[in-house]
Chains A and B, each alone.
Chain A
Amino acid sequence: MAEAFWLIPLIPGAGALVLLLFGSRMPRRWVSWQSTLAVLASFVLSAAGFARLVRAGPDAPALAKTLLPWIASGSFVAEFAFSFDRLSAVMALVVTGVGLLIHVYSVGYMAGDKAYARYFAYLNLFMFFMLVLVTASDIVLMFIGWEGVGLCSYLLIGFWFDRPAAAKAGLKAFVVNRVGDAAFIVGLLFLLTAVGDPSFAAINAAPAAGLVGPGLATLAAVLLFVGATGKSAQIPLYVWLPDAMEGPTPVSALIHAATMVTAGVYMVSRLGGLFAASPAASAVVAWTGGLTAVFAATVALVQTDIKRVLAYSTISQIGYMFLGCGVGACAAGMFHLFTHAFFKSLLFLAAGSVIHALGGEQDMRRMGGLRKRLPVTFPAFLVGAMAIAGVPFLSGFFSKDAILTSAFAGGHYVLYGLGLAGAVLTAFYVFRMVFLTFYGEPRAAGAHPRVRESPPVMTVPLVILAALSALAGLAGLPVLLGGRADLFGRFLEGVVVRTAHRLAASSEVLLILAAAASALAGIYLAFVFYRGSPALPARSAARFPRLYRLLTGKYYVDEAYEAAIVRPLVRGAELVYRRFDLEVVDGALNASAAAARGAGQGLNTVQSGLLRDYALAFLLGVVIFLGALLL
């Protein structure tokens, strides 16, 4: 069965095609079953592939399959070539596993939507592109998946396209991602020209083979990473993700938390050989990640929309993953990707359950006291919150610790400090959510009288994800516990690059204690602010009004981009349009009309005027054209 791994993307792809063409005429039940079973089939195949790789041992080659040629011209060659190695296996399992749960959850969440079939068609289409992304064996084919998931993200953010905000957010997501992709393409061109082979294996081997020098490696790696900052929502291109919350909540969980947004981390891990060849590029990755982790966490502190908090939290957590990759610990970064997929999709789905129960309410200021009303959602959310906050022995604790330990061991003390500070902030904002949403008195008086727990089709995925969020960390216990620990890291050994730094056991214990302390400190602070003395948040805001406004205004980055890039571009274009394409003509029109009046003849003024305008505009064009050629 493992040989058929190339069907992993194709099954949901075929499912999507059927749903797109005929879905609107199918019964809903059929749509739900077909789309979910397609993902289940991919999950089973992924598991079979995974099992095969485990049995085959660490030195066995990846499964590979070249289906067809694709684009070939001269020295440019790209094929429909897929491969399935241990990194692909981890990604495919996460994507299909979480994807499966989210398909099931969506059956309940989207039950009342009139475009039910279109929703599942897009969801299956997303699975197709995401799985192409993680099983492509060359970088050009990966780009199909890379842009394809962006397309699905666009379609699903704007799923309720009659809402102006949703349509706008989809557009923003696509265009911002395209900015990153333009850089990605330039990086791709540098690599393809130098290496002459688009396969990941060739690119990773190129620095050692002398095909890619250090300067070129840095340039190409940084350009590709700019692409990753788009897809994975890092500084400076993260601005689309908070707006992406306009999409249905299960979509936010699947695409904008668990899978697509982590594609950049996957890509950097996949190209470990290239990034390892450039310490400068690795430093860019690490610093971008570290700064984003703290930056986004500070914004999350004051947001009141439950989904926005989670969005900024995702930006911040992906920052951690890049921090890990950048300090040479891609296995740790991937481990955090793995655990994050569970606890963040859990948080989103639980938040979705809350929103569902409150009839669409997303503002935490109008929530509160839901603990008893939502007896499954609440504990599930709490487990997710503890996992992301890094409460000891839950999954997030181990994966975050793995990253921070690697940073410290590699001598990146400032980055380590950033990470630790971010951990406090994370614990604070996530428990702020817990307290505001589930504790205290219901704040929307009489608004939600009939709050009821969601149906099992939604709560069962929550319970499964909660279990995974709690336990997934066991896959990567700290090496401190012995050579048999860190299953996850050992599984990926040889596939992703890892700079081994050994720490003394005593320092490692200290680091673990520091991580645990930062999590507990954050939770305690949140308790003080939102349970202990409820007047404190308002008082703090009043005390530091500027800081508070800066944070609630999200550092005004959107406004700055608008003022510095978008508006000048549009204004400039309008100016040039008027001055060059139109004014030459209009100016000539006036002049010739005057001339015609002066002549006072029975000429058709407009006609003759126009004729002269064409002549003038045309002549100017010719002069510029010839000038460019002859000078």
Chain B
Amino acid sequence: MSAFASALPLVSLVTFLPLAGAVLLVFIRGESLKAVRAAALAVSLLTFALSLFLFFGFDGASGLPEFVERASWLGRGLDYHVGVDGLSLFLVLLAAFLTPIALLSSWRAVGDRVKEFSVFMLLLETGMIGVFVSLNLFLFYVFWEAMLIPMYFLIGIWGGPRRVYATMKFVLFTMFGSLLMLVGVFVLHAAHHQATGGYSLAIADLAGLALSPALQTWLFLGFGLAFAIKVPLFPLHTWLPDAHVEAPTAASVLLAAVLLKMGAYGFLRLGLPLFPLAAASFAPALSVLAAVGIVYGGLMALIQKDMKSLVAYSSVSHMGLVMLAVFSLNFEATEGAIYQMLNHGLSTGALFLCVGILYERTHTRKIADHGGAAARMPVFAGIFLVVMLSSAGLPGLNGFAGEILCFFGVFAANKALAAVSVTTVILSAAYLLWLYRRVLLGPLKDPGDPRLRDLDKRELAYLVPIIVLIVFMGLFPGVFLRKLDASVSRYLDAVKTPAAATLGLAPAPERGQTAENRAELER
């Protein structure tokens, strides 16, 4: 298989196959809903199948990007340069896994302009995967921006009644961040030219620049703001509930599961390794914001009256823990953060799917309009239960494995913030189980309602794979974590060594470091 994998530009295929599919769809006659849906699903499934080659072919021992492809593109360092390493591999897989699920989930919900919808979904997939595989900053920026456009249309056309408001808010927030990032890209380009005389926007090259602390500070603020909005980090979260509430289910799934991860990924890929001095000095303050977000998001989720905004606020809380772990700058926390990003993607994506299923049947997302659905939908109630427990971090399911590593790593960095973050254990149980009680348990709200039927085959087909993965990732996290180890060590070296050197500290041996890295440090 490795021969097969190396013979193909696998990363490019995975990235651009959805785009090709989207182009193809334009030529299918739009009247045939069935053909459009099947074609879009087939393309996304093929993309997922290809992405599995990345997973199985990924070695991970070096910690360096693998499946690298590089070609000059626009010149002056604006190269086409892609590949995957431990930080990005699973996010690519997550996007490739959830896109067919999101498509399948909208077969009944979206009956209007299905072709355009499918085209935008596939374009979105290319954008998402492109962000994760980019190893050139300019390419990263292009994908980052490009991805906004399909999401804009998905919410703006197929969204709820206040979709215009939500789209504006979404675009305003994220465009503002992007603008700052663009300035940062220019500055880095110039800085690299000044330092070396050559042109490059390869992220690895940029990480080697010894930028002055002042410049690092400004650049970190620029990039950091863009990423923090995306996460979203408290208090920049107010766009998220609106976007989610108005977005169609499929868009909500990808927004929560993948798009939010781009913020955290941005910090891991760029924010911290490129500007390590600034990152080190801002980490404490950002940690506090992240910890506030955990509690704030949890409390807000508790009082929501709309199922979707409840899940949206739960994302604020969960991503707060991810960011707190990222800013803890140690091995366990970083692996925990990456793992928790995947877990959050699965569980929150699935929560939105479950809410969508209820909405399709009752046409209301108001919690108070529901009640007792478990009596009619026992299979759905069981699946919802597992998803909820995954999100609440029940040991044995995926959420716990990520959460406990985050707690452990955060604790090593700051005991007080760790104690604050552990409150998520209480809050997540409270808001989720309370939701479950009000929506699924209790007496049936409307016993005569014929619409409350249990899951059909299509719905099972997209929910069961998630459930299987939730259990598998909870019991065998090692399958995934072992592919992260070397990349995380390398990443932490890049983030911590310059900071330690400048502050006049000996590079403290990092817990959990591989022997290879230790040897490297000694050299």
By a beta-carbon cutoff of 8 Å, the part of chain A in contact with chain B is 20, 24, 68-76, 140, 143-144, 146-148, 151, 154, 158, 161-164, 167-168, 170-171, 174-175, 178-179, 181-182, 185-186, 189-190, 192-193, 569-570, 572-574, 576-577, 580-581, 584-585, 607, 610-611, 614-615, 617-618, 620-622, 624-626, 628-629, 631
Contact = CB atoms under 8 A, between A and B. Distances in A.
B176 interface: yes
Contact of B332 (A73, A175, A615): A73
8 contacts: A71-B478, A185-B407, A185-B425, A190-B411, A581-B241, A607-B164, A614-B172, A618-B173
A615 B300 contact: no
A82 B423 CA distance: 29
Interface of B: prevailing SS? helix
A372 B299 CA distance: 56
B168 A625 contact: no
A189 B411 contact: yes
A327 B43 CA distance: 68
B395 A144 contact: yes
Contacts of B395: 140, 143-144, 146-148
Nearest to B482: A72
B186 interface: no
Contacts of A175: 426, 429-430, 433
A175 B444 CA distance: 24
B208 interface: no
Most-contacted residue by chain A among B238, B394, B440 (CB, 10 A) = B238
A147 B428 CA distance: 14
A186 B422 contact: yes
A576 B299 contact: yes
Considering the complex of A and B, which 4 residue pairs feature the smallest CB-CB distances, nearest first? A74-B512, A167-B441, A74-B331, A573-B299
B282 interface: yes
Contact of B168 (A68, A174, A610): A610
A570 B481 contact: no
Nearest to B301: A573
Interface string B341-375: 00000000000000000000000000000001011
B512 A625 contact: no
A74 B441 contact: no
Contacts of A76: 332, 404-405, 408
Interface stretch (B122-130, B228-236, B268-276): B228-236
Contacts of A148: 394-396
A625 B300 contact: no
Nearest to B427: A178
B189 to A, nearest CB: 24
A193 B412 contact: yes
Contacts of B172: 611, 614-615, 618
Interface string B401-414: 10011011101100
A158 to B, nearest CB: 6
A623 to B, nearest CB: 9
B473 to A, nearest CB: 11
Given A161-B442, A185-B422, A622 B288 contact: no
Contact of B331 (A24, A73, A577, A617): A73
B389 interface: yes
B240 to A, nearest CB: 10
Given A144-B395, A148-B395, A614 B299 contact: no
Contact of B302 (A71, A72, A570, A607): A570
A151 B389 contact: yes
B303 interface: yes
Nearest to B382: A20
Interface string B239-272: 1010000000000000000000000000000000
Contact of B481 (A68, A73, A162, A584): A73
Nearest to B332: A74
Interface in B50-68: none
A618 B422 CA distance: 29
B169 interface: yes
A447 to B, nearest CB: 26
B336 interface: yes
Interface in B285-337: 285-286, 288-289, 296, 299-300, 302-303, 330-332, 335-336
A192 B404 CA distance: 11
A572 B299 contact: yes
- Chain B: number of interface residues, binned into ranges: 35 or more
B118 to A, nearest CB: 29
Contacts of B437: 167-168, 170-171
A70 B400 CA distance: 11
B441 A161 contact: yes
B422 A147 contact: no
B374 A73 contact: no
B73 interface: no
A164 B443 contact: yes
Contact of A71 (B164, B404, B425, B440): B404
A574 B407 CA distance: 28
A171 B418 contact: no
Contacts of B29: none
Interface in B148-180: 164-165, 168-169, 172-173, 176
Given A70-B478, A161-B441, 10 more contacts: A73-B336, A144-B396, A151-B389, A161-B374, A178-B426, A185-B407, A185-B422, A615-B172, A625-B233, A625-B235
B425 A628 contact: no
Interface in B435-451: 437, 440-444
Given A76-B408, A614-B168, A162 B375 contact: yes
A577 B238 CA distance: 10
A399 B425 CA distance: 37
Contacts of B108: none
Given A74-B512, A151-B394, A162-B441, A625 B289 contact: yes
B292 to A, nearest CB: 9
B419 interface: yes
Given A174-B433, A189-B408, A73 B443 contact: no
Contact of A181 (B235, B332, B425): B425
A73 B289 contact: no
A614 B375 CA distance: 42
A626 B478 CA distance: 38
Nearest to A580: B235
A125 B331 CA distance: 35
Interface in B495-517: 511-512
A186 B419 contact: yes
B433 A628 contact: no
Contacts of A621: 235-238
B285 A581 contact: no
Interface string B87-121: 00000000000000000000000000000000000
Contact of A147 (B282, B375, B394, B433): B394
Contact of B173 (A193, A581, A614): A614
A177 B426 CA distance: 9
B225 interface: yes
A179 B176 CA distance: 40
B511 A162 contact: no
B434 interface: yes
A72 B481 contact: yes
Given A74-B335, A76-B408, A625-B233, A178 B425 contact: yes
Nearest to B403: A185
